[in-house]
């Protein structure tokens, strides 16, 4: 395949963000082919072929991100890789070895395949959690890429995402077999919300069980700036287009960018309320218990987990790093992304809130039926 052909590979294509990136890319006439890779390809993605323009092709690659042969095949003839595939886990439900294998080793193997196949551009979807909050709960208000912060990551997820990000940034300028040099860049989105968010689904499910009352798991003053999934996808598309310009590529290569939008600063709990309030949901005015007491409970649950570890796997519903994340003011601006590759949100807060609320309304009957029939599995419900 000609190296001048504009072919994209999107890993994690069936994921929350991956599907949005592909939908945004379908609107770009200069893209000739989109390759969608995931462990299991969502059947809905196959329907997108009908939305392609006549010149664009969609291909699927189904398998594990650690499969070297699959990666080599998927990267052959590709110009740009957008790597979103990862395991997200903030409660310790996934073994650290598996997190390391997918989030770090998978990224390394994809980079190696990209270098072997002369992939020119490599974009990595990182996370704000590679920064913090740290164990002390030190806040950041409207930070940026130059903000100095003492980071001591506690989540295995955060650690593995940070390792993956560093691998990608260090690969910038790597010599390719065709004597060109690879250009890499990473995006650090804030907490992503929107349609098909499994995290919002979980909160809605719990609220239905308690009479449509959302549990407050974060203090109102713990302000963060969530970002709508459509805007994060748009940032990926804009960055990939900017990389085509050699001058911009020189400026962008090897750097990371925070991605937020114009969603008002609010706590995680209040975000859930904002997108669900029109449907009759209410929210607790304060934390169920004082925060210091919640830390004590989390510590005891972690202790039980560690004692039981040699015998059974027990995953507490809360842990101290998660409490810190939920209750620390932590926000970043997107000024540098706007300056370097013209990023600005394409969805307003009101539109994002409305779209998310309408999606919740569409799945609400299923959730209420789930509460009546607890034998139904969550997996079945969310098909």
Question: What CATH number has the domain bearing residue 95?
Answer: 3.40.50.720
Q: What is the pLDDT of residue 141?
A: 97
Percent of the chain predicted with pLDDT > 70: 92
pLDDT digits (tens, 9 = 90+) for 33-83: 999 999 999 888 877 766 665 578 889 999 999 999 999 999 999 999 999
Within a domain: 305: no
Contact yes or no for 60/104 (Cβ under 8 A): no
Tell me phi and psi for residue 123, to 5 degrees. -110, 130
Within a domain: 137: yes
Within a domain: 135: yes
Active-site positions read: 161
User: Does 147 have pLDDT greater than 80?
Assistant: yes
User: Does 369 have pLDDT greater than 60?
Assistant: no
Average pLDDT over residues 347-371: 84
Q: What is the pLDDT of residue 51?
A: 63
Within a domain: 204: no
Within a domain: 245: yes
User: Does 190 have pLDDT greater than 60?
Assistant: yes
Which of 114, 24, 23, 125 lies closest to 68 in space, CA to CA? 114
The band of 13, judged by pLDDT with boundaries at 50, 70 and 90, is: very high
User: Does 148 have pLDDT greater than 60?
Assistant: yes
User: Residue 26 is part of which domain span?
Assistant: 7-197+225-266+330-351
Q: What is the pLDDT of residue 366?
A: 65
Q: What is the pLDDT of residue 210?
A: 86
What burial class does residue 383 get, using C-beta atoms within 10 Å of its C-beta: 0-12 exposed, 13-18 middle, 19+ buried?
exposed
Mean pLDDT of the chain: 91
User: Does 368 have pLDDT greater than 90?
Assistant: no
pLDDT digits (tens, 9 = 90+) for 282-337: 999 999 999 999 999 999 999 999 999 899 989 998 999 999 999 999 999 999 99
Q: What is the pLDDT of residue 367?
A: 60
Within a domain: 371: no
Q: What is the pLDDT of residue 53?
A: 57
What's the rounded Cα separation, in Å, for the pair 328 and 132? 10
Number of independent structural domains in the chain:
1
Q: What is the pLDDT of residue 84?
A: 97
Task: Reduce the DSSP state of residue 16 to 3 states and report it.
Answer: helix
Within a domain: 382: no
Q: What is the pLDDT of residue 383?
A: 30
Within a domain: 220: no
Q: What is the pLDDT of residue 382?
A: 32
Average pLDDT over residues 235-263: 96
- Listing DSSP states for 270-301 in one string gives HHHHHHHGGGT-EE-SS-SS-HHHHHHHHHHH
Q: What is the pLDDT of residue 1?
A: 41
Q: Which of 201-205, 267-271, 375-379 has the weakest average pLDDT?
A: 375-379
């Amino acid at each position: 395949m000609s190296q001048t052909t504009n072919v994209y590979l999107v890993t994690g294509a069936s994921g929350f963000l991956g599907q949005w990136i592909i939908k945004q890319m379908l609107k770009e006439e200069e893209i000739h082919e989109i390759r969608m890779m995931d462990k299991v390809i969502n059947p809905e993605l196959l329907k997108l072929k009908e939305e392609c323009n006549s010149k664009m092709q969609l291909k699927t690659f189904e398998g594990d991100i650690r499969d070297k042969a699959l990666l080599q095949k998927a990267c052959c003839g590709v110009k740009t890789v957008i790597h979103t595939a990862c395991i997200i886990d903030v409660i310790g439900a996934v073994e650290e070895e598996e997190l390391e294998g997918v989030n770090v080793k998978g990224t390394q193997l994809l980079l190696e395949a990209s270098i072997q196949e002369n992939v020119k551009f490599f974009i990595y979807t990182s996370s704000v959690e590679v920064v913090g909050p740290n164990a002390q709960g030190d806040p950041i208000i409207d930070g940026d890429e130059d903000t100095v912060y003492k980071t001591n990551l506690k989540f295995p997820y955060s650690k593995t995402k940070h390792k993956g990000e560093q691998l990608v940034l260090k690969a910038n300028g790597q010599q390719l077999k065709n004597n060109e040099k690879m250009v890499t860049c990473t995006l650090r989105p804030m907490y992503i919300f929107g349609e098909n968010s499994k995290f919002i689904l979980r909160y809605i499910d719990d609220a239905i069980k308690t009479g449509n009352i959302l549990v407050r798991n974060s203090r109102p003053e713990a302000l963060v700036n969530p970002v709508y999934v459509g805007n994060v996808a748009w940032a990926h598309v804009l960055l990939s287009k900017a990389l085509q310009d050699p001058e911009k590529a020189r400026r962008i290569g090897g750097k990371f960018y925070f991605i937020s939008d114009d969603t008002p600063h609010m706590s995680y709990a209040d975000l859930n309320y904002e997108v669900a309030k029109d449907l009759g949901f209410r929210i607790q005015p304060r934390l169920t218990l004082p925060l210091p007491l919640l830390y004590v409970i989390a510590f005891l649950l972690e202790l039980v987990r560690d004692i039981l570890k040699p015998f059974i796997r027990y995953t507490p519903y809360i842990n101290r790093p998660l409490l810190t994340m939920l209750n620390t003011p932590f926000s970043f601006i997107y000024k540098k992304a706007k300056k370097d590759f013209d990023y600005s949100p394409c969805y307003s807060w009101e539109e994002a809130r409305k779209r998310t609320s309408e999606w919740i309304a569409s799945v609400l009957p299923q959730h209420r039926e789930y509460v009546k029939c607890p034998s139904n599995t969550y997996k079945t419900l969310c098909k």
